[in-house]
Structure 1
Amino acid sequence: MNRRNGQAKKADLMAQGNQQSFGGTILETVKTVVYALLIAGIFRTLFFQPFWIPSGSMKDTLLIGDFLFVNKMTYGYSYASCPSLYLPRFGIDIDASDICGFLDGDNTRLFGDEPERGDVVVFRHPVTGRDFIKRVIGLPGEQLQMRDGVLHIDGTAVEQTPDGTFEEIAEPQGPQRLRPRCANGPVGDGGTCVKEKFVETLPNGVEHSILNIGTQGSDNTPVFTVPEGHYFMMGDNRDNSSDSRERPVAGGVGFVPFENLVGRARRVVFSSSGRSMLFFWTWRGDRFFERIE
């Protein structure tokens, strides 16, 4: 009997040990996940933020489906440096101001360096708070105007040099299945969509590509005077971009405060023309690690 009791006690101890070991394993797993999330959150807040190109407003510099990391250290830190998470399908809408709103309102940055004209920048929309990506075109105190599709800064026309055409397949693009606008349109599925291409040389010598689709209202604008502490942003696909040429209430961006800048985009890391990055046959290998000019 004593022998049986001893064996039972031994079995009980072993079972308790296994339970404790199992519980310890779960606890360690939870701690590992929590630490990983904290490290990822700190990394994203302080250093780099991933960004997918959702629209064609920056063609042909950036294409729908390009994936890049935004360098947050370039312009220092503000409330906009805190991460946002917007997943409407799951009812998730966490805004940077929900986390770091106490830093909002003074239009200043910690360790802040001002952007240079021609930088490709991710910033928070002044009204909606959604992340946008455009090119810095106008600096504080400057006057900007579009005349017949030509950018003028402080009354002087910016040089544009014809550079052939930009061509792409006329088909739905990216997860949102957006169709491109074409200068030779309307173009049916599978046809060649063509846009005029120019090289624009900004006053500081930065050269970049811009596209033209046709004549429209945004080709001729009033004079915009950029307020102090703000910047004038434009897309490279000039006829297909909601930017500083329109006020936010009209669907545009308006002037962008310094504190709303998230960071600078320098290089495309990955690119896919399909509905999902898992569709490997839609990957654009020639754009992997391409420098953003």
Structure 2
Amino acid sequence: MITARRLTKTFRAKGRTVDAVTDLDLSVAPGELVAFLGPNGAGKSTTLRMLTTLLPPTSGDAVVAGCDIRRDPAGVRSRIGYVGQGTSGGHTQRVRDELHAQGAFSGMGRRETRARADELIDSLELGQVANRQVQSLSGGQKRRVDIALGLIHRPSLLFLDEPSTGLDPHSRANLWEHIVDLRRTTGTTIFLTTHYLDEADQLAERVMVMDHGRVIADDTAAALKQRLAGDRVTLEFGSATDAAAAAARLGGDHDGSSISVATPDGDVALPRWIRDLDAAGLEVVAATHRAPTLDDVFLALTGRSLREEGAAAAA
């Protein structure tokens, strides 16, 4: 569904060249849901804009939904849906009218457009607001309208650029419930950027991590967590002296009277460590075991927290 080879975009800013995306290679199979993660400025949105023909690449090639982004941008646009970070619907227009207009823009006939709009209004639970102005809707309702606008022409591929940023937890969950259901019933391929790591972890078959314009990891969430992060075991001691002695034996990070150790299979290692430390006269007074997260993966790769980036973006 998407194949890119050495896709690159550079800009000129204040007399110097800025490398926004460098030698990007990627391949997305039909029906996949791929999450594209990275901090602000990593090149995610630039990549999406190149793949959707909104921004010409400096070099490299890509074929999207069977069409070359350079030679046939109109073909790409006719086959994809794109939901950007801003609200798509005209604020003073009614929801149903916006869907009808979008269908016309896509070259659909009037009868087909009306039928498709009714279908999306029903599946995305927009019936009660279909005749209201977009500006009167809640944030979650507006994002569902955006999804409907992106799907009106039945695209085989849907790009979602941070679709749930700024939504409250209930609206986020509701939006993703609809997206997952639509994907299940239609087989639509989804390529999304998000700052919410739980979305990528729970929903995506693959996770790609981008930093400084380059993809630095590409695998399933489970494989990335196991290979790059590992479990996190925290041990608390009665004194900083005991903690320092334990850290000398086990390694890890020492902070006051506690130590934190990253290890594969932490649930297996934890009881063994407690026994060994007790035999050495170092009593563990409290212990916790935490499975790795995608934020741990990002920290391991870049030394930065993507969760903090996401919180800043939401704010």
Question: Of the two, which has the highest radius of gyration?
Answer: 1
TM-score by length of 2: 0.21
Ranked by relative contact order (alpha carbons within 8 Å, sequence separation 6 or more), the top structure is 1
TM-score by length of 1: 0.22
The structure in which a higher percent of residues are helix is: 2
